[in-house]
């Protein structure tokens, strides 16, 4: 004997009844157009070295990097973010290699523009890959990070990247005033169309470990807490993005993403600029490790994780999963 149905005024489950219905009313959609692929480039030829703490991610010599970028472009990924692996003999205390017009990043940008001109290139502006001490700024004899002196080097670095042909410079150093200094210098030299993707809310996070392994850029002393943000702070993030916007940023970013979805949401509500989120190396490594043990459905967790970033308000996502996601979404 069947019971009579309750006379409920609303039944939300009606819209979940079939996959077609669920797709029709879906509030957040992840697209390949949302993705930026971070990539590591190193010197040499015919070299592709897997990063132990980031399974499936590699350091590429330029020749193989170009092949990979061509494949990435065919998959519909529109942008790559470049990070250089600098040999120890090219590092010094002041990061002079960072603005070498014939340096690794500069030559890589030129080669990509020639080989795959349609891809958008984003280049990192920070000193840690280029310095012997592994910090993002110049350091005095007492170990203090020097803000204003660092800006002079960052400006040289950004200008050299612009001259090479980058589309966006991405200051990730968290020095005060660097967006304004770089924007002023770019405009003065005629690079008015080179954009700035600002790491506006970059936290002093424990999630960066695998990335530092990839670049061998961990600080040799101390930590980065005097310039990267305290993980407990939210209002400070809004102050940082307000300053970066006033100084000329075109896109603002929150890094990391997964543990800072609340920050992404607040930042999105506070600005009309595009908001990027960086799905960082530690987030990537945790999913990969759990998948290797068979504890999770890797593909479903990847899509759910990136969708959460979109749902929080991210317009763009830098993610090492970009190529895998592009294949899933085809």
Closest of 205, 203, 217, 259 to residue 51, by C-alpha: 217
Residue 62 in this model has a pLDDT that exceeds 90: yes
Torsion of CA 123, 271, 316, 288, to 10 degrees: 100
Angle (CA) 193-194-200 rounded to 5° is: 125
> What pLDDT is attached to residue 1?
54
Task: Quickly count: other Cβ atoms within 10 Å of residue 98's Cβ.
Answer: 30
> What pLDDT is attached to residue 2?
63
- Classify the C-alpha dihedral 326-104-249-167 as positive or negative: negative
Closest of 158, 152, 251 to residue 201, by C-alpha: 251
Q: Is 239 one of the catalytic residues?
A: no
Could you say which of 202, 224, 268, 288 is catalytic? 202
Helix ranges, the chain (H): 19-24, 62-74, 104-115, 147-164, 178-188, 209-215, 235-247, 261-270, 281-292, 298-312, 322-329
Residues 121 and 109: beta-carbon distance below 8 Å: yes
Tokens representing 183 are 């924007």
Could you say which of 110, 156, 235, 255 is catalytic? 255
Strand, helix or coil for residue 24: helix
| Cα separation values, 307 from 101, 219, 328, Å | 39, 33, 13
Q: Is 144 one of the catalytic residues?
A: no
Residue whose token pair is 């830098």:
318
Q: What is the pLDDT of residues 203-234, one digit of tens each?
A: 999 999 888 777 777 788 888 899 999 999 99
Q: How does the average pLDDT of the chain come out, rounded?
A: 95
Q: What is the pLDDT of residues 7-61, one digit of tens each?
A: 888 889 999 999 999 999 999 999 999 999 999 999 999 999 999 999 999 999 9
Residue 79 in this model has a pLDDT that exceeds 60: yes
| pLDDT higher at 222 or 75 | 75
Q: What is the pLDDT of residues 132-159, one digit of tens each?
A: 998 999 999 898 999 999 999 999 999 9
Residues 230 and 240: beta-carbon distance below 8 Å: no
Distance CA 327, CA 95 (A): 38
pTM: 0.95
Residue 187 in this model has a pLDDT that exceeds 90: yes
Closest of 46, 25, 29, 43 to residue 303, by C-alpha: 29
Distance CA 274, CA 316 (A): 8
Helix ranges, 75-146 (H): 104-115
Residues 310 and 28: beta-carbon distance below 8 Å: yes
Distance CA 42, CA 129 (A): 12
Residue 303 in this model has a pLDDT that exceeds 90: yes
């Amino acid at each position: 004997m069947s019971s009579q149905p309750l006379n409920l005024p609303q039944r939300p489950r009606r819209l979940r009844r079939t996959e077609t219905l669920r797709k029709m009313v879906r509030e957040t959609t992840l697209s390949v157009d949302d993705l930026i692929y971070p990539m590591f480039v190193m010197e040499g030829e015919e070299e592709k070295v897997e990063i132990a703490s980031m399974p499936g991610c590699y350091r590429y010599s330029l020749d193989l990097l170009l092949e990979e970028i061509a494949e990435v472009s065919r998959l519909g990924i529109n942008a790559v973010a470049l990070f250089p692996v600098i040999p120890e003999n090219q590092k010094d205390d002041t990061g002079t290699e960072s603005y070498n017009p014939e340096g690794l990043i500069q030559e890589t940008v030129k080669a990509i523009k020639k080989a795959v001109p349609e891809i958008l290139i984003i280049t990192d502006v920070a000193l840690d890959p280029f310095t012997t001490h592994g910090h993002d700024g110049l350091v005095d004899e007492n170990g203090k990070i020097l803000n204003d002196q660092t800006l002079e080097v960052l400006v040289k670095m950004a200008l050299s990247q612009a001259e090479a042909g980058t589309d966006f410079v991405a200051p990730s150093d968290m020095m005060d005033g660097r967006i304004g200094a770089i924007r002023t210098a770019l405009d003065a030299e005629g690079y008015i169309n080179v954009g700035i993707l600002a790491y506006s809310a970059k936290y002093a996070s424990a999630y960066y470990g695998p990335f530092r392994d990839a670049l061998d850029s961990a600080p040799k002393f101390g930590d980065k807490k005097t310039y990267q943000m305290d993980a407990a702070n939210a209002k400070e993030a809004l102050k940082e993005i307000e300053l970066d916007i006033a100084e000329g940023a075109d896109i603002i970013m929150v890094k990391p993403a997964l543990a800072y979805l609340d920050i992404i949401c607040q930042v999105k509500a506070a600005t009309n600029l595009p908001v990027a989120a960086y799905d960082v190396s530690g987030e990537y490594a945790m999913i990969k490790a759990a998948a290797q043990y068979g504890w999770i459905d890797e593909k479903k967790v990847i899509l759910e994780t990136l969708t959460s970033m979109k749902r929080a308000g991210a317009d763009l996502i830098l993610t090492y999963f970009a190529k895998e996601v592009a294949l899933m979404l085809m």
